[in-house]
């Protein structure tokens, strides 16, 4: 049964407006998923998160395996009850950690052994174990284990990673035992378009519930990233959700929506919020700067989030300067609201067949955030 419906496709691009139906509610697409890696979006209560407009969030298999452990989550009522989140949840398989923790891993065709970044203890994941863990956690959408490679990466290593990703996807499909969950496969291949095509061809034969584009945002330049997204997205089935993993700047999201991508996740809103960096429609704001000392205005005029409705830039700057945890919480809330407002606007302009022209204008405006990726927001896809 296909639980994804395309409601409208923009006339001037491949952008589409859709709906994913899960056991814990509907997900309006294009959708942005806040990241709750270890079972919590840092500093944000579930009620606050809901108020930003989120209807799906992300957690991570590897991190939950280490702490608190699958058995503990089960004893506490499953992942939804554990996170106190009654809407949709997606769990990543741990494949990204093969890249981000590669100095602590040993990988072969069966799977990967991690030396825990917490205490050095050994942890093992393969296609079957990662799928079984996610079946037990009970997320609405789960991911096949894949091998994410760094950039640059020579073609022989890329080819080996693609073959492993295909093989592991087959094994995950055979292992998957919870029919309430959607199982997504992940397309790998770096910026090698030939390998991307091969990976898509083999994964589509297996008929997954959705497909993710992985292995980007790991050091490649923007033109290569966009070219890879465009090529990969157009090869994926039109009747299944398409998910670009870890893409975080507003311009990245707009470019990928234009290519027909439906789902996104990134830690940028919260990680940068914790560092006094605010996203606004007119550009970035660094709230530690002295120019905000006596500013009685909100972070962003017209924003109705809890932060902007109640607190001034001057008070928020003070909270950061004295190490008060309310500062990071407030800016994280604003940033999460900014991202959800962006997704609402994207859905609206798609429905009006105005996405193409709107995207061109907004992408130019939001390029200012791209220039910051090597400084403030360079770790968007890390732990």
Residue 176 is classified by DSSP as -
The tens-digit pLDDT sequence of the chain (383 residues) is 679 999 999 999 999 999 999 999 999 999 999 999 999 999 999 999 999 999 999 999 999 999 999 999 999 999 999 999 999 999 999 999 999 999 999 999 999 999 999 999 999 999 999 999 999 999 999 999 999 999 999 999 999 999 999 999 999 999 999 999 999 999 999 999 999 999 999 999 999 999 999 999 999 999 999 999 999 999 999 999 999 999 889 999 999 999 999 999 999 999 999 999 999 999 999 999 999 999 999 999 999 999 999 999 999 999 999 999 999 999 999 999 999 999 999 999 999 999 999 999 999 999 888 865 533 333 333 34
Q: Which helix (H) or strand (E) holds 187?
A: strand 182-187
Report yes or no on 218 lying in a domain: yes
* pTM of the predicted protein model: 0.96
Instruction: Read off the CATH number of the domain in which 164 is found.
Output: 3.20.20.105
Report yes or no on 77 lying in a domain: yes
The total number of structural domains that make up the chain: 2
Residues 210 and 236 in one domain: yes
Residues 187 and 44 in one domain: yes
Q: Is 22 helix (H, G, I), strand (E, B) or coil?
A: strand
Residues 261 and 294 in one domain: no
Domain termination residue (choose one: 232, 266, 300): 266
Strands (E), the chain: 4-9, 16-22, 25-29, 31-33, 56-60, 88-92, 105-107, 111-115, 122-126, 141-143, 182-187, 210-213, 242-244, 263-265, 277-278, 285-286
Catalytic annotation, residues: 92, 265
Residues 108 and 200 in one domain: yes
Domain termination residue (choose one: 266, 284, 312): 266
Instruction: Give residue 365's domain range.
Output: 273-369
Report yes or no on 3 lying in a domain: no
Report yes or no on 380 lying in a domain: no
């Amino acid at each position: 049964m296909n639980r994804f419906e395309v409601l409208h496709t923009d006339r001037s691009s491949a952008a589409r407006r859709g709906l994913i139906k899960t056991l814990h509610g509907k997900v309006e697409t294009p959708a942005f998923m806040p990241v709750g890696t270890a079972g919590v979006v840092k500093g944000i209560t579930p009620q606050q998160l809901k108020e930003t407009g989120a209807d799906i969030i992300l957690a991570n298999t590897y991190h939950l395996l280490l702490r608190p452990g699958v058995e503990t989550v089960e004893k506490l009522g499953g992942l939804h009850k554990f996170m106190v989140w009654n809407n949709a949840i997606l769990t990543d398989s741990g494949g990204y950690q093969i890249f981000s923790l590669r100095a602590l891993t040993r990988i072969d065709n069966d799977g990967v052994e991690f030396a825990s970044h917490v205490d050095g203890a050994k942890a093992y994941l393969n296609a079957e174990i990662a799928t079984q863990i996610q079946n037990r956690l009970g997320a609405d959408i789960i991911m096949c284990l894949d091998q994410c490679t760094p950039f640059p990466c020579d073609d022989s290593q890329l080819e080996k990673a693609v073959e492993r990703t295909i093989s592991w996807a087959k094994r995950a499909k055979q292992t998957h035992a919870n029919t309430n969950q959607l199982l997504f496969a992940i397309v790998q291949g770096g910026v090698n378009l030939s390998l991307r095509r091969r990976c898509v061809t083999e994964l589509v034969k297996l008929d997954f519930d959705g497909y993710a584009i992985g292995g980007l945002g790991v050091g490649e330049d923007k033109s290569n990233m966009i070219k890879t997204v465009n090529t990969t997205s157009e090869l994926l089935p039109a009747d299944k959700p398409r998910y670009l993993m870890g893409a975080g700047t507003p311009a990245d999201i707009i470019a990928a929506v234009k290519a027909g991508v439906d789902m996104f996740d990134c830690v940028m809103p919260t990680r940068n919020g914790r560092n006094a960096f605010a996203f606004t429609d007119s550009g970035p704001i660094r709230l530690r700067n002295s120019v905000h000392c006596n500013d009685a205005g909100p972070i962003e005029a017209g924003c109705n989030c809890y932060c902007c409705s109640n607190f001034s830039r001057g008070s928020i700057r003070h909270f950061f300067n004295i190490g008060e945890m309310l500062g990071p919480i407030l800016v994280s809330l604003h940033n999460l609201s900014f991202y959800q407002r962006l997704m609402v606007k994207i859905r609206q302009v798609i429905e009006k067949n105005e996405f193409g022209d709107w995207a061109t204008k907004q992408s130019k405006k939001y390029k200012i955030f791209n220039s910051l990726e090597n400084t403030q927001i360079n770790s968007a896809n890390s732990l």
